[in-house]
Structure 1
Amino acid sequence: MPISIEALLEKYRERTAVVAVVGLGYVGLPLVRALIGARLRVVGVDIDAEKIESIKDGRSYISHLSFNFFVDAIERGRFKPTTEFGDLSHADAILICVPTPLTRHREPDLTYVESTARSIVPHLRAGQLVVLESTTYPGTTRDIMIPILESSGLKSGKDFFVAYSPEREDPGNDKFSTTTIPKVIGGDGETALSFAVALYSLFVPQTVRVSSLETAEAVKLTENVFRAVNIALMNELKLLYAEMSIDIWEVVEAAKTKPFGFMAFYPGPGLGGHCIPIDPFYLTWKAREYELTTKFIELAGEINSNMPRYVVSRVADELNRRARRGLKGASVLVVGLAYKKNVDDTRESPSFKLIELLEKHGAACDVHDPFIPMIPLTREYASLAGRRSVSLNDEVISGYDAVLIATDHDSIDYKAIVESAKLVVDTRNACFRSGALGPNVVKA
């Protein structure tokens, strides 16, 4: 029976389409919320049964999202969270939001994308739209995902339809959310593009059509390479200006008063989050296929990757200068485990590297983060898992040889830290911004 393109488009126009989201993390769950808000019925699939139970019980595992919203949607029959891929057979559109990390050799790890595509195959049916949102290198959707889906015997562009639309989530950002950010979309053919545009138009302010799947994939990489390179520039200037006794944060604040030709980026202790530390390496890896090197991107990655070592060296230097002691045997409180302020997201957080380096030099580290009661299990830093956040008071703070501010959460009382700490090494300019000044504060 031939597919009626108009009938399928009508489902989106009339909001009768069922949409499935695979991967209920920092990208997938906000997407579910937006779809429910657009009056669509949603199926949420995740292989983590604990996440599914948390959603059903209203127990939040993402601090900036209220899970009461999802409980209410479940009760109204608008949302079904499940671990069963079989429920995808009822969906008109399947949106894939799974992790795309790097291997230990900094090569793309598409394990989650590939396994998800294989899990979809038994439930794929004619007329369905499949959209990959996970960040990846140009060619992934066409060369990796589509062949797996076509192993079902159905053909992309004829029986089912494929698009790529990169996620643009910024966890904890109150100014921008899923429903306020334009959506870039590329399709495997004009029909697939039309279906994807029809769906996303229901809940985003603008859809931006591009000419191909590969172009859409390149857009996301370009956005994050831009950030990574500019942050690296600020980190490099931080090192130079520190030697010249110039405050990089003061320089940036003054420079950004120029109404044109400058965009403010800030240095830090390293890069965190799923996107910026990872995405540029997807592009450098792909460039080798064309016998090209991305020297600019690789240099930026090198600079940013070296920031934790610089910070630790600053801690060591200041301890030696002020207390005539080294890191060995020193007690250090690392403030902030999240990769950015005001969220509970620890993906690729530089705090873990800082702790690892400090302890390799013989320091004993405790941690404090108001959003993260305990260090979660990660692949690279499994030995840190289970370490609990300590509660802060004057006596606790004064007991450490140094306090290292790695994440500038707004809820932290920096004045109390500065008043009680022997030494504060601030990698985020948090003390200055909160008016917590003292001779015991150094920037790194």
Structure 2
Amino acid sequence: MPADLAVIGLGHLGLPLAQAAVATGIDTIGYDTDPDRLAGLAADRTHHADIRRLLSGGFRPITDPAELGRVRTAVICAPTPLGADRALDLTDVADAARALAARLRPYTTVILESPVYPGTTEEFLRPLLEEGSGLRAGRDFHLAYSPTRQDPGSRAPSYASTPKVIGGLTPACTESAAAFYGRLTDKVVRARGLREAEMTKLLESNYRHVNIALVNEMAVLCHEMGVDLWDVIRCAETKPFGFQPFRPGPGVGGHGVPMDPSYRPPTGGALRMVGLAQDINNRMPQYAVQRCATLLNEHGKSARGARVLLLGVTYKPDLADQEGSPAPEIARRLMDLGASVSYHDPHVPDWRVHTVPVPRADSLYEAAAAADLTVLLQNHRTYDLQGLSVKAQLLLDTRGASPGGAAHRL
């Protein structure tokens, strides 16, 4: 049965789009080149209700890619993780493109939503689609890019109230993509072209990384000076203009794509400030471990042999997603110092650091009372920090979420 929309890639990018489409009555199918991805998503307890609502709304996950040739719009939402060389891995995008290209029909609108570097849609995706289909982008089918704007786990703003940026290979491509997204969102913003839309995503991600790096540096400086940074931020955010609050932490996680310093656009330039920001943010796990060792030492204990309990190992509160979480590096560094590390996370039933299983605490308060040091890495809603501060022998709060004076803060 033909569908209006095919979402290709059913991970953290494709699920919100599929939800929004189904909610507005768009007949939607979902396909993933990795058949285990949807199963893994369904097994994630934070997405149970989402999957049930999708299926009850008529969403159809498909296993036969032949059905991709019977849709009006296909949106590629494949993941683009950083590889070992810190460059984007476009393997899943390529697999999605090949699966679609073999069935691509004239007049179909193809949109890429995966985070990519500027130029990827035209120079990487377009040839795969054209070679596999025999069709020509901009003449036989529409090709566009639209950056994702998601805040996983957040209850606001909604998909419909978040403006959607569109950039097409041609003006007609832009208008075709805009017509589709106009059914899902209240406002569509037309970029000048593909690269402008791709660069929009990069600017938004870099803005976050640079500002987090600033407050991370401020956290280190304020600790050395005996200044309460969290109170400083509380005061600064009362300014009604020219300031947006960001907060420090033990590292930066998530799926955003910062401009890696090793990336060089065709002009040969680079964003030096972003490279410096990444260096600062990448040092935060080491700084968090340094603070752990110092706190233990100040209380007459050595990191070697110390029992350290890590609370929250995901990259964001109240989600199971561990993409880019600083927790594994912090755990590894503590283990290298000789500490005995355990963890607690209501969303992660099993956790490994470089294939080494980390013991999970069943009873949170008992584990905190037994640990020499408890470290809050992620502030899940279920954590009672006031109660934990009473039970824990020593509590380091890397998120500034505990009541004043209840814990040592990063």
**1:243 is matched by which residue type in structure 2?**
E
1:287 alignment partner, SS class: coil
Relative to structure 1, is the Cα distance of residues 53 and 223 closer, same or farther in structure 2, using a 3 angstrom cutoff? closer
Relative to structure 1, is the Cα distance of residues 252 and 137 closer, same or farther in structure 2, using a 3 angstrom cutoff? same
Structure-1 residue corresponding to 2:273: 296
Relative to structure 1, is the Cα distance of residues 178 and 246 closer, same or farther in structure 2, using a 3 angstrom cutoff? same
Structure-2 residue corresponding to 1:400: 371
Q: TM-score, normalised by structure 2?
A: 0.95
Q: String of CA shifts for 1:5-46, please: whole Å, max 9, x gaps.
A: xxxxxxxxxxx9610001111121111011111111111012
The answer as to whether partners of 1:139 and 1:213 remain within 8 angstroms in 2 is: yes
Relative to structure 1, is the Cα distance of residues 120 and 382 closer, same or farther in structure 2, using a 3 angstrom cutoff? farther
Distance (Å, rounded) in 1 between the aligned partners of 2:397 and 2:259: 27
Distance (Å, rounded) in 2 between the aligned partners of 1:143 and 1:286: 16
**2:273 is matched by which residue type in structure 1?**
F
**1:80 is matched by which residue type in structure 2?**
R
Confirm whether residue 341 of structure 1 aligns to residue 327 of structure 2. Answer: no
Confirm whether residue 215 of structure 1 aligns to residue 225 of structure 2. Answer: no
2:81 alignment partner, SS class: coil
Q: How does 1:102-117 map to 2 (within 5 A)?
A: 102-117=82-97
2:264 alignment partner, SS class: helix
**2:59 is matched by which residue type in structure 1?**
F
Relative to structure 1, is the Cα distance of residues 169 and 221 closer, same or farther in structure 2, using a 3 angstrom cutoff? same
Q: String of CA shifts for 1:214-242, please: whole Å, max 9, x gaps.
A: 00000010011011001100000111111
**2:180 is matched by which residue type in structure 1?**
L
**1:345 is matched by which residue type in structure 2?**
D
Q: String of CA shifts for 1:75-105, please: whole Å, max 9, x gaps.
A: xxx3210233222011111101111111212
2:367 alignment partner, SS class: helix
Confirm whether residue 89 of structure 1 aligns to residue 89 of structure 2. Answer: no
Structure-1 residue corresponding to 2:171: 190
Distance (Å, rounded) in 2 between the aligned partners of 1:64 and 1:428: 28
Distance (Å, rounded) in 2 between the aligned partners of 1:54 and 1:374: 14
- 5+ residue gaps, structure 1, are 1-15
**1:24 is matched by which residue type in structure 2?**
L
**1:232 is matched by which residue type in structure 2?**
A
Confirm whether residue 68 of structure 1 aligns to residue 52 of structure 2. Answer: yes
Relative to structure 1, is the Cα distance of residues 394 and 342 closer, same or farther in structure 2, using a 3 angstrom cutoff? closer
Distance (Å, rounded) in 2 between the aligned partners of 1:388 and 1:195: 52
Relative to structure 1, is the Cα distance of residues 64 and 348 closer, same or farther in structure 2, using a 3 angstrom cutoff? farther
Shift of the alpha carbon at 1:394?
3.5
The answer as to whether partners of 1:274 and 1:347 remain within 8 angstroms in 2 is: yes
How many positions carry a matched residue from both structures? 408
- 5+ residue gaps, structure 2, are none
Distance (Å, rounded) in 2 between the aligned partners of 1:417 and 1:175: 29
Distance (Å, rounded) in 1 between the aligned partners of 2:380 and 2:390: 18
Distance (Å, rounded) in 2 between the aligned partners of 1:367 and 1:120: 42
Distance (Å, rounded) in 2 between the aligned partners of 1:394 and 1:108: 41
Q: String of CA shifts for 1:300-341, please: whole Å, max 9, x gaps.
A: 000000000000000001101102x32111111000011111
Distance (Å, rounded) in 2 between the aligned partners of 1:181 and 1:187: 19
Relative to structure 1, is the Cα distance of residues 389 and 204 closer, same or farther in structure 2, using a 3 angstrom cutoff? farther
**Identity rate, percent:** 36
Distance (Å, rounded) in 2 between the aligned partners of 1:139 and 1:287: 12
Distance (Å, rounded) in 1 between the aligned partners of 2:366 and 2:166: 54
Structure-1 residue corresponding to 2:334: 358
Structure-2 residue corresponding to 1:29: 15
Distance (Å, rounded) in 2 between the aligned partners of 1:198 and 1:382: 46
Confirm whether residue 129 of structure 1 aligns to residue 109 of structure 2. Answer: yes
Relative to structure 1, is the Cα distance of residues 49 and 293 closer, same or farther in structure 2, using a 3 angstrom cutoff? closer
Relative to structure 1, is the Cα distance of residues 130 and 393 closer, same or farther in structure 2, using a 3 angstrom cutoff? closer
2:286 alignment partner, one of 303, 309, 312: 309
Confirm whether residue 18 of structure 1 aligns to residue 19 of structure 2. Answer: no
1:145 alignment partner, SS class: helix
1:246 alignment partner, SS class: coil
Distance (Å, rounded) in 1 between the aligned partners of 2:296 and 2:159: 45
1:425 alignment partner, one of 385, 396, 404: 396
Q: TM-score, normalised by structure 1?
A: 0.88
Structure-1 residue corresponding to 2:237: 256
Structure-1 residue corresponding to 2:147: 166
